Amino acid sequence: MKTESTAPPQLRPSRSESSWAKRSAAESSEGTLSLRDTVIKIDLSAIAENMVNIRQLVGPDVAVAAVVKANAYGHGALAVAPTLLESGASMLAVATLGEALELRDHFPDCPLLVMGLVPDAALSLAAARKITLTIDSLHQARLLNEAAKKLGHPALIHIKIDTGFHRIGFPCNEDGLRDINAIKDLPWLQTEGIFSHLALLDDASNRLQYEKFCQIVKRLEENGFSFRYRHLADSIALVDYPEYRMDMVRAGALIYGLRGFHKGYVSVRQALTFETKICHITSIQKGEGVSYDYTWKAPYDTKVGTLPFGYADGYPRNLRGKGVVSIRGVRCPLVGVLCMDQCMVDLHDVPDAEIGDIAIIYGDGSDAAPDIQEISTLAGTNKNEIVARLSARPQRFYYKSVIDR
């Protein structure tokens, strides 16, 4: 695989290298100073390919909202947004107004949808910045209508329906219908979409939620509503349940190459690599302890490497005794209690390891590196949490891979 450079706003890419090649800690790609050896690399080509493949899967009549909440699942929302939009995303979807405002500063004309609720006091700001909001109460609809009236331009909204997830949304009953129908009479609101969220328990409950949603939509349309986007399917549902794609799908984890589907299939590649370098090596004798409380004691004479990453970087602290990294293509166990900023690795199986050798923390499964799915299983959580918890401290580097064919 070769790589080509690309430079998203205020960021520069990393250049291609083998997984155990060494570089100076003070030097990164194209003259960019790397202040720390612990970095996150994002393959924008993988994200572009994933987005194109999703678009081809759902077909030309179904829009794709690219979900970039939680800093694009740890990948960097500002940096990956251009790739997503160039590759076919109809809009960018986030969870909070703060996330939307950050994007609006850099993408003044991009359709932005906030899927969570916004505080009453912030509705005017959202309307002023032309950010599409989720509405699940007549109270907020009226407040937003007044704010839009003062601004002199309509505010776009998507109505959220609670079909059984029981998180947010208008209830699927006559009271809910009454309040939604009242929104139609608010002249400064433009209802662009209506949506719900599947619990994804099983086929039967999914079908029940879908039918509830369709019934609500039908009754609203019969009463004069017109929706450009009706959307129900997330990353899992858009692959496994094509009948639920409707007018738009919300692709989140899938665009970053994190698989969650079970029935259908779409080709996606993991875009993120998390890596560091050995910064110190200590020779220890059998029986000597490592890290706090000496919870790990060497079962043999060995070398222990120090790696400059820890739970402050977003690595799960509960992986003590389970975490591994790949060094020179060999899987090496992390030992002792994981520290906030550093951790230790047993180098018994790579006795020739040196300071400066790369250790892959999260890889794509090659070179013996654990991928994000394996890490999530070891940590007892899901893939989304593993990437979303990656902190801002590791510097992100972006590149475009070109696969030799």
> How many whole angstroms separate alpha carbon 345 and alpha carbon 334?
4
Provide the 3-class DSSP secondary structure of residue 303: strand
Q: Which helix (H) or strand (E) holds 250?
A: strand 248-251
> How many whole angstroms separate alpha carbon 179 and alpha carbon 183?
7
Is 69 part of the annotated catalytic residue set?
Answer: yes
Is 400 part of the annotated catalytic residue set?
Answer: no
Partners of 357 in the β-ladder: none
- Structure tokens of 308? 């400059």
Q: Which of 218, 286, 292, 297 is catalytic?
A: 292
- Closest by alpha carbon to 156, among 144, 171, 139, 173? 144
114 to 96, 118, 180, 199, 374: CA distances (angstroms): 6, 8, 19, 20, 31
Q: Which helix (H) or strand (E) holds 273?
A: strand 272-277
> How many whole angstroms separate alpha carbon 359 and alpha carbon 306?
10
- Structure tokens of 379? 């940590």
- Structure tokens of 233? 């399917």
> How many whole angstroms separate alpha carbon 200 and alpha carbon 188?
35
Q: Which of 69, 277, 303, 383 is catalytic?
A: 69
Give me the sign of the Cα torsion angle 30, 31, 32, 37.
positive
Active site residues: 69, 292
